[in-house]
Structure 1
């Protein structure tokens, strides 16, 4: 930090964060438009489709909010925990850390209408560290930090440490958290909300995350708890009890920018338009990715509706399913006879005949000739990028 520059909590205006609504209006309009697109398209895939999107989003949120902190959870383990919880199963996975984080994120979204208080936050943080001790810092969990002095976020070797952030002293945490939680409750979206307490939902989530991270009330787990607060704030403003996209997945992708944006907003002044704008942009990108996923679901449905009357054998159906579900991972350079043989175990003559039949009825298209001949699903071909020649349909 520049000499004599203060952390935001040291300023006389603390904690009155402000942002320029006019400056952020275009970014906010785009974020709300993209979320509206996501919500609208989700209605076209039916209840089961929406449930699957929500489940995948929750799995991603758990995986990536942990990954941002350097904690790696296997997808199959997280998926199993989420499914069991949503099936109201009393059994859990073999990883209490996974189950704990699933519980936290799910509670933040599904019960966003319930008050957020110190006890609830402490239960969230405790759930991240089964056994009542953080293995990262070897500290007791389940309550606000109560050590002496300040908490510092540092990097570098001993004697050459770089201080990235210094939080308020532990003795101030109860007071600071009481003020934060009162603000969070006062600004909760309601139909009778006073104008001076109104915040756009995305801006409120951005400020809530920044404010919580500035206080840094726990010895460990502040990032994960802070992003759970973001999930709760967005669920409140968007009136959703299930999340349709994972913001943490996008934040993980841009994690260097994420750290820089947060760190910049934690010093200097209470005007945080840059931070809020950056946060809104990441929310828009996360919504756009989820919307694209729904578009792919719709395209797959249309594909199967188009081919449902075709006389496909089981081999052809299995390969089409693989191409639809895994795309380039199954055939990164397109499908050829040899790859089809490996997938189905048939002879080259049968593979060629099956592929030609799929081209003739319009389920595959081709590119190249001779040894370079490749077969593509039309939608996968479009996603694969530019080619020197068009894909040829049957």
Structure 2
């Protein structure tokens, strides 16, 4: 597995991996196995359910890639835009602002156009979509073009006046040759291992840092593109940006370490592959929960229950195994179902008698759990529910 990536600015052979690095092979094998399990599970999911899974994963990953940069998007607006794009769900939520739609445009193009060559114009279009007004905050920036300013491009953190410089990118006059080398390499990676390619593409792009702003989001879209080459739209379920957000400090630390010192980026690739493995394992858990929910309703499609009872059952099912801490109590049912204590108690007992729920405890300690093996109190560790049935 030899990767010779000629980034002229830093060294004739940066970045590189040792072809005989056994550790990479071991970690890569684990990540690939986890990815294979995701694809195997997906084969059991119907088309409509798969689209629903993709919509939710895409929504969460869009929020995550923005949050890594300190931006907060409205989930309802993001979700409704994605539902309209995929033709699933209610599709009647609020509209997203132009810059949010721009990010979704990038993520969509990366996946649906994964087989198309990467070009400078395509990268310029991605970056421009993030800044439709030509401004980043209050600052006017170059949009739809690589940076040209003479000042050094620095990656900094900390309060004004006490900034810490983590990295200085190559000067603007080097960008034509740097980006030409990158694009040429990227288009020649088809057929090589996509997980390693994604790791190398991301660290290379972030090291060159070709734009005045938006480099992180564009660089993570490149990860999406590489994974989609192999998995297609189902690659959205991997949610790499969500994992990178969870490990945000380590993510930045590992990128910084790869951008300094020797030309060997093995440490970064190992770290990245581990994050993909975790993301794949979580995707499998999500798919398993979806399959369990579908089986549950198939097995319980005959009994006549109220809309309120169905709503509460869906809250429990959506939370997944261990996702609804403390089980369903009469008080929680009363709040979620907007009903009286007596009605809540009676309807919970009915759901138990019909086999929808299992009861644990007695008296004030009575709790109900969805009647799916492995979804009882022993699997708890998730989150509680709010009065509207959402997960807090």
TM-score normalised by structure 1 residue count: 0.86
Residue 12 of structure 2: aligned partner: 13
Q: Indicate the SS of the match to 1:333.
A: coil
Residue 381, structure 1, aligned to residue 373, structure 2: no
* Structure-2 change in CA distance of 1:385 and 1:122 (3 Å): closer
Q: Indicate the SS of the match to 1:44.
A: coil
On the 8 A contact 2:78/2:96 being kept in 1, the answer is no
In the aligned structure 1, how far is the partner of 2:323 from the partner of 2:14?
A: 53
Structure 2: gaps spanning 5 or more residues:
1-6, 383-392
Residue 389 of structure 2: aligned partner: none
* Structure-2 change in CA distance of 1:233 and 1:347 (3 Å): closer
Deviation of 1:270 (Å): 1.2
Map 1:157-306 → 2, pairs under 5 A:
157=159, 160-189=162-191, 199-236=192-229, 238-242=230-234, 243-306=236-299
2:132 to 127, 130, 133: 130
Structure 1: gaps spanning 5 or more residues:
1-7, 190-198, 387-394
Moved more, 216-225 or 28-37: 28-37
In the aligned structure 1, how far is the partner of 2:331 from the partner of 2:260?
A: 60
2:101 to 80, 99, 102: 99
* Structure-2 change in CA distance of 1:183 and 1:136 (3 Å): farther
In the aligned structure 2, how far is the partner of 1:284 from the partner of 1:42?
A: 17
Moved more, 333-342 or 216-225: 333-342
Residue 70, structure 1, aligned to residue 70, structure 2: yes
Q: Aligned residue pairs: how many?
A: 368
In the aligned structure 1, how far is the partner of 2:332 from the partner of 2:82?
A: 35
Moved more, 150-159 or 288-297: 150-159
In the aligned structure 1, how far is the partner of 2:350 from the partner of 2:369?
A: 13
On the 8 A contact 1:109/1:235 being kept in 2, the answer is yes
In the aligned structure 2, how far is the partner of 1:341 from the partner of 1:109?
A: 43
In the aligned structure 2, how far is the partner of 1:158 from the partner of 1:343?
A: 46
Deviation of 1:317 (Å): 2.6
Q: Once the two structures are superposed, what CA deviation does each residue of 1:82-113 show, in whole Å capped at 9, x if it has no partner? A: 22333599xx9350011100000110111011
Deviation of 1:10 (Å): 5.6
Residue 3 of structure 2: aligned partner: none
TM-score normalised by structure 2 residue count: 0.86
Deviation of 1:51 (Å): 1.1
